[in-house]
Structure 1
Amino acid sequence: MRILRAAGYRVMPWKNGGGTTTEIAVSPHSAGLDDFDWRISMARVETSGPFSSFAGIDRTLAVLEGEGIVLEIAGRSASRLTAASAPLSFPGDVPTGATLIGGPITDLNVMTRRSRMTHTVERLSLSDEMRVEHSVGTTLVLSVDGSVKVFADGVSNLGPLDALILDRDSPELRLQPEGQGHLFVVRLLDLAANG
């Protein structure tokens, strides 16, 4: 298990130059936009406009903060995303544009290289203790708001936007919220190793 603190995330420009993204984690470590296997990041979206195109990439988007956005994917509209919506998955290499519903948002963006990886993203409300088991691949847990105690070979704390990464050898986690909070569980599967 590895804990990632929000204060240590890397901030970098969008591929299309229209803003900045905060990279939570990437594999391989220090990979760039053209050679990652998977990448998890957050972006502050200040204006409506087109998304960057990522050839061979599958994406999942979720709203962390703000009123939300309406996505137009491959010429089809009506995908409305808010902070209460389930995460939305779509190909990163089809034309995609976003219209803000009512001001800027912060989103969570999970991307995997289609030929090598697959992923799932789940939004959970955390009011009682829960358990998270490691999966066959890599699991990342992102605390959105509030503080969460983590019990696994000792006790740690996750603050807002802190994350932890579990691999195959990680023990089962117990997560205990300190108040009401939300978190995301991202599971990443290497197709070659598990196919």
Structure 2
Amino acid sequence: MTKASEENSRLPMASRSIIRTGRLPRLPWKNGAGTTREVAVFPGGSGPDSFRWRISVASIIEGAPFSTFPGVDRHFLVATPGTIEMTIPEGTAILTFGQSVSFPGEDEVAVQVLNGPVSAVNFMTDRTACSGAQHVQRVSGRVALKASTAALVMLVGSAQTEDGWKLGPMDILTCGPESETLNFTAATICTMHAWPNNTAFAE
């Protein structure tokens, strides 16, 4: 991929940020059935019906139906130890730490906690504007993030940016327009990717 095509395939924030999830305020779900912490929206300042992508971290303490988001694709990751059962139109899915599922935001989805509570990372993309994906992987050493990376969440281990910022479990880095390289130590991470619909995602 050329430099120009890499730039056209990105949907980054205006500047890089490191978010300590535990310091964010809890907000009610759209349907009032649970709470979440909003991490980032793109473009910055977008509302619940105008974002291209959105990242939040939900606290799942007990069974509840999910809010619906018509026109949005949802990528849902269990980010802390525990087990949940999700009911989706195709059936049920048992998810444990580090496992994820994707589904259309208009689907009727519910969750039951089998071993918890758990925290879950929700990555949502506006289907008309862009596509998205989550990737969980184990990494160590110096790693350059792909151009399509919108954000990274630390699940296990630690990392340090090239300018000295440190990340631990449940810290989230949202990427700005500059490329990012981090030094990881015995880490498990989830990267969230977003790219405009007129471009192809390069693995």
1:121 to 107, 112, 134: 134
* Matches of 2:81 and 2:34, distance apart in 1: 17
* Matches of 1:130 and 1:88, distance apart in 2: 28
TM-score, length-normalised on structure 1?
Answer: 0.84
Answer yes or no: is the 8 Å Cα contact 1:3–1:162 preserved in 2: no
How far apart are residue 176 of structure 1 and its match?
2.3
Give 2:182's aligned residue: 174
Cα gap change, 1:141/1:84 in structure 2, threshold over 3 Å: closer, same or farther?
A: closer
How far apart are residue 155 of structure 1 and its match?
2.8
1:132 to 144, 151, 155: 144
Cα gap change, 1:3/1:129 in structure 2, threshold over 3 Å: closer, same or farther?
A: same
TM-score, length-normalised on structure 2?
Answer: 0.81
Cα gap change, 1:5/1:175 in structure 2, threshold over 3 Å: closer, same or farther?
A: same
Query: 3-state SS of the aligned residue for 2:26?
Result: strand
2:61 to 39, 42, 46: 46
Larger RCO (CA under 8 A, 6+ residues apart): 2
Give 2:41's aligned residue: 26
How far apart are residue 166 of structure 1 and its match?
2.6
CA RMSD of aligned residues (A): 2.1
Give 1:142's aligned residue: 153
How far apart are residue 17 of structure 1 and its match?
0.5
* Matches of 2:142 and 2:85, distance apart in 1: 32
2:125 to 112, 118, 130: 112
How far apart are residue 70 of structure 1 and its match?
1.3
2:196 aligned partner, one-letter code: D
1:131-187 deviations in whole A, cap 9, x for unaligned? Answer: 12342x452111124431122xx33212332222334x423413222xx33211111
Query: 3-state SS of the aligned residue for 1:5?
Result: strand
Gaps of 5+ in 1: none
Aligned length: 185
Give 1:16's aligned residue: 31
Q: Which consecutive aligned stretches of 4+ in structure 1 deviate over 4 angstroms post-superposition?
A: none
* Matches of 1:139 and 1:56, distance apart in 2: 20
Answer yes or no: is the 8 Å Cα contact 1:50–1:96 preserved in 2: yes
Answer yes or no: is the 8 Å Cα contact 1:143–1:184 preserved in 2: yes
Gaps of 5+ in 2: 1-14
Cα gap change, 1:110/1:122 in structure 2, threshold over 3 Å: closer, same or farther?
A: same
Give 2:16's aligned residue: 2
